[in-house]
């Protein structure tokens, strides 16, 4: 068996798994060798006041006769906050600590060089945990324990939740045992799953209900969808608090649910902006057209619409806003749209936003953006795209909604656009049935409750309330606010906003108490705070270098305090750092760490992972790193560039110090080296080739990087 690249699996890009945790080799294993088996998958879900606490325990076994490298992947909801990570090997339990990312990577590389037993957990997206494990010995069993907290979506008088369970054929056998146990309080009348059969079980002496799904030799075919129906007709607004006695401060989580009666339908102006660039070719453009067609069909008689398409050019197809009565003709025209060219997102947003009037005509203004979100033409800087589009949209009171289509979505861009412009986003991968997602997103557009929302608090002192806005409220959806408080007492929250040009005011009253048992509340606030700081660090061009460093230090300090992983820090499990302890791990293995982890990525999603990395029978022989293509020839990944044949390569030996240094130069090189052990690519005019031979010393490499 050929030696696998350590760094290749460290930054491995995989399909957008809708899966429970899964261990996979970084490259296809040779036939007959075998691979990994999941012996059991146990899940405890506890629901309390609209917050789900999830504990997972999984055991994997190397059923091959060879030492294998492995990547453990675990997708989580984007709203979840990870609170612990544990790996158990035999009788030893190893816990992670938070380190600056550079330090964690350096230690990891040193241990790999010694063939010890490290595990590095890095966030590669807000919806994916990745853990690299090496070596994984023949017959060895390893248990992984993860806990996360997730505020659930609210719809009418029910909470909804998706637990990721589906596995995409990376195991060599079915899961030995699966157990999913759901515990609720008296606030829940019933738990229903349209995808799995849940059995209600009676537990004496415990309030609420328990439901369980169990199976043996199980091959998951879908995620677990759950609907929690409330005991009351409507789910009330609520508050959860946590008091940190040592710090002398508390944290609150407000859930505000507007109950505005639909006395009249607000007419809408909807501008559809459809990406028709070459990256959208094939199934992605077909999905985008279906979404556009479906929303066109849902327009009401008083609505107006316009359609803009873009590649490297911008095309105003309708010539401005049209009456909804003309939608039938345009549905047929949409079906004939084809994809080709580059991606000028900046120009498309500027042109489409300019189609809205600046006056308040009592109409709800919506820009519906359908794209794979990868700008390659015109202005491509994410910060500039978001900033300029936001300035124009706010001047016209435009709400931006987005569908991210396909597995190459740059979700960081789309998420920031909707966050800054009081909208919502939904992601659709190839092959997915988009009807339900389109309907759900459009329901937000159909029932705007309040625009231009201003929130004020009085009664007790509060601080650092997040998110900062702008806010819009939608009927049936909750707005969650998190912040700090310093004393008990009554809190009055006033929510003011407009609907159809009319002003509305709502008042909410909450009792804020010093409660010691809700640590997750502080975790949710810390995640939001770090995400805010990370966006400032990345995109505020007015920051001085000193100010940027101060922002980075606050992020790292919060990360260490709350055990949060992000691009500034990483979880590292390494026996050489004496992080092991002998302990009896309870089901879930999470009784020790009091703090949390969370995503600071401005929401780079699982959908960014390239789907063609793993396909049946092997890997794809053509991939993109950014906008640069690579093809596989004689086990070497070669940049698709005619200059490759003209240049003399600088050879770098894989796994040498020079190789590690090259890997750490920038993010593009990380992705290039993740293609495999042998790669030929051009960087700053120099052709590099990694493989079995070449320079090993970092000083030799330096002269080629100048």
For residues 78 and 208, state if they share a domain.
yes
Question: Is 288 domain-assigned?
Answer: yes
The verdict on residue 521 lying in a domain is no
Distances in Å between the alpha carbon of 641 and those of 9, 22, 627, 637, 689?
A: 25, 36, 12, 12, 14
Residue 640: is its pLDDT beyond 90?
A: no
pLDDT digits (tens, 9 = 90+) for 314-351: 999 999 999 999 988 888 888 888 887 788 999 999 99
Same domain, 253 and 226: no
**639/632 Cα distance (integer angstroms):** 9
Residue 568 in contact with residue 556, Cβ under 8 Å?
yes
Give 201's strand partners: 210
Is-contact 12 71, C-beta < 8 A? yes
What pLDDT is attached to residue 589?
23
Pairing verdict, β 22-24 and 188-192:
unpaired
- Whether residue 5 lies inside any domain: the answer is no
Task: Tell me if 123 is assigned to some domain.
Answer: yes
Mean pLDDT of 222-251: 86
Distance CA 433, CA 281 (A): 18
> Does one domain contain both 474 and 490?
yes
Indicate the average pLDDT of the chain.
Answer: 77
| CB-CB contact of 100 with 555 (8 Å) | no
Residue 332 lies in a domain: yes
CA separation for the pair 163, 226 (Å, rounded):
8
> CATH no. for residue 458?
2.60.40
C-alpha span between 639 and 622 (Å, rounded)? 10
Cα(85)–Cα(597) distance, integer angstroms: 9
Q: How far apart are CA 591 and CA 578, in angstroms?
A: 19
Answer yes or no: do 225 and 287 share one domain.
Answer: no
Residues 34 and 124 in one domain: yes
Q: Which two tokens stand for residue 504?
A: 């509305």
pLDDT > 50? residue 477: yes
Q: What is the pLDDT of residue 162?
A: 82
The verdict on 430 and 455 lying in the same domain is no
| pLDDT tens, position by position, 557-573 | 888 888 777 777 777 77
Q: CB–CB of 226/211 below 8 Å?
A: no
pTM of the full predicted structure?
A: 0.66
Helices (H), 335-410: 345-353, 382-396
User: Same domain for 463 and 503?
Assistant: yes
Indicate whether 626 and 496 sit together in one domain. Answer: no
- Look at residue 670 and tell me if it is in a domain: yes
Range of the domain at 509: 246-261+450-515
Q: How many CB atoms lie within 10 A of CB 488?
A: 15
Residue 429, domain member (yes or no): yes
Q: What order do you get walking across the sheet with 153-155 strand by strand? A: 153-155, 158-163, 224-230, 188-192
Residue 158: give its domain's CATH number. 2.60.40.1730
Give the model's pLDDT for residue 594.
Answer: 24
- The answer as to whether 14 is a domain residue is no
Alpha-carbon distance of 126 to 123, in angstroms, equals 7
| Residue where a domain terminates, one of 422, 446, 470 | 446
Structurally, the chain folds into a number of domains equal to 4
Per-residue pLDDT at 575 exceeds 80 = no
* Shared domain check, 171 and 159: yes
- Are residues 400 and 458 located together in one domain of the fold? no
Q: For the chain, give the percent of residues with pLDDT over 90.
A: 21
């Amino acid at each position: 068996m050929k030696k696998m690249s350590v760094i290749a699996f460290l930054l491995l890009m995989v399909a957008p798994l809708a899966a429970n945790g899964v261990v996979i080799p970084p490259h296809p294993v040779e036939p007959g060798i075998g691979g990994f088996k999941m012996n059991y998958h146990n899940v405890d879900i506890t629901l309390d006041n609209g917050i789900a606490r999830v504990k997972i325990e999984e055991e994997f076994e190397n059923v091959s006769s060879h030492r294998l490298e492995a990547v453990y992947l675990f997708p989580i909801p984007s709203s979840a906050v990870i609170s612990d990570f544990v790996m158990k090997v035999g009788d030893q339990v190893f816990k992670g600590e938070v380190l600056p990312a550079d330090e964690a990577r350096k230690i990891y590389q040193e241990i790999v060089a010694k063939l010890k037993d490290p595990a590095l957990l890095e966030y590669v997206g807000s919806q994916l945990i990745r853990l690299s494990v090496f070596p994984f010995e023949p017959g060895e069993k390893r248990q992984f324990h993860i806990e996360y907290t997730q505020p659930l979506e609210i719809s009418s008088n029910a909470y909804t939740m998706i637990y990721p369970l589906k596995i995409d054929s990376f195991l060599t056998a079915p899961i030995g045992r699966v157990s999913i146990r759901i515990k609720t309080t008296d606030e829940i009348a019933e738990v229903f799953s349209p995808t799995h059969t849940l059995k209600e079980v009676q537990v004496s002496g415990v309030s609420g209900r328990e439901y369980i799904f169990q199976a043996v030799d199980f091959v998951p075919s879908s995620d677990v969808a759950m609907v929690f129906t409330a005991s009351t007709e409507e789910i009330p607004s609520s508050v959860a608090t946590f008091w940190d006695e040592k710090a002398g401060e508390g944290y609150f989580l407000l859930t505000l649910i507007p109950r505005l009666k639909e006395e009249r339908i607000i007419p809408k102006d909807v501008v559809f902006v459809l990406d028709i660039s070459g990256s959208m070719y094939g199934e992605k453009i077909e999905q985008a057209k279906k979404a556009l067609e479906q929303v066109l069909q849902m327009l009401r008689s008083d609505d107006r619409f316009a359609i803009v398409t873009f590649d490297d050019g911008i095309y105003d197809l309708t010539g401005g806003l049209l009456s909804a009565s003309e939608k039938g003709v345009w549905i047929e025209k949409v079906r004939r749209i084809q994809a080709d060219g580059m991606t000028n997102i900046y120009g498309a947003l500027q042109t489409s936003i300019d189609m809205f009037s600046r006056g308040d005509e009592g109409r709800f203004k919506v820009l519906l953006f359908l794209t794979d979100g990868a700008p390659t033409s015109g202005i491509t800087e994410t910060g500039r795209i978001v900033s300029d589009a936001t300035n124009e949209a706010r001047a016209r009171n435009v709400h931006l909604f987005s569908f991210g289509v396909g597995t190459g979505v740059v979700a960081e861009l789309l998420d920031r656009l909707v966050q800054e412009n009081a909208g919502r986003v939904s992601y659709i991968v190839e092959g997915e049935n988009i009807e339900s997602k389109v309907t759900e997103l459009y329901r937000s557009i159909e029932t705007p409750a309040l625009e231009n929302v201003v929130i004020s608090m009085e009664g007790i002192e509060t601080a650092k309330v997040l998110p900062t806005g702008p806010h819009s409220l939608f009927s049936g959806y909750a707005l969650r606010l998190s912040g700090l408080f310093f004393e008990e007492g009554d809190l009055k929250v006033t929510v003011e906003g407009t609907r159809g040009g009319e002003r509305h005011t709502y008042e909410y009253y909450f009792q804020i108490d010093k409660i010691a048992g809700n640590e997750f509340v502080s975790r949710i606030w810390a995640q939001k705070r770090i995400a805010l700081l990370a966006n400032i660090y990345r995109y505020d061009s007015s920051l001085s270098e000193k100010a940027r460093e101060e922002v980075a230090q606050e992020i790292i300090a919060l990360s260490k305090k709350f055990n949060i992983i992000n691009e500034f820090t990483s979880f590292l499990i390494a026996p050489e750092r004496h992080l092991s302890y002998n302990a009896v791990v309870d089901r879930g293995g999470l009784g020790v760490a009091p703090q949390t982890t969370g995503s600071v990525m401005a929401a780079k999603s699982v959908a960014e992972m390239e789907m063609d990395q793993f396909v049946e029978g092997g890997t794809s022989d053509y991939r993109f790193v950014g906008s640069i293509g690579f093809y596989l020839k004689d086990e070497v990944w070669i940049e698709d560039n005619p200059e490759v044949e003209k240049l003399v390569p600088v050879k770098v030996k894989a796994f040498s110090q020079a190789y590690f240094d090259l890997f750490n130069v920038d993010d593009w090189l990380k992705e290039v080296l993740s293609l495999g052990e042998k790669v030929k690519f051009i960087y700053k005019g120099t052709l590099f080739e990694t493989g079995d031979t070449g320079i090993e010393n970092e000083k030799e490499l330096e002269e080629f990087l100048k």
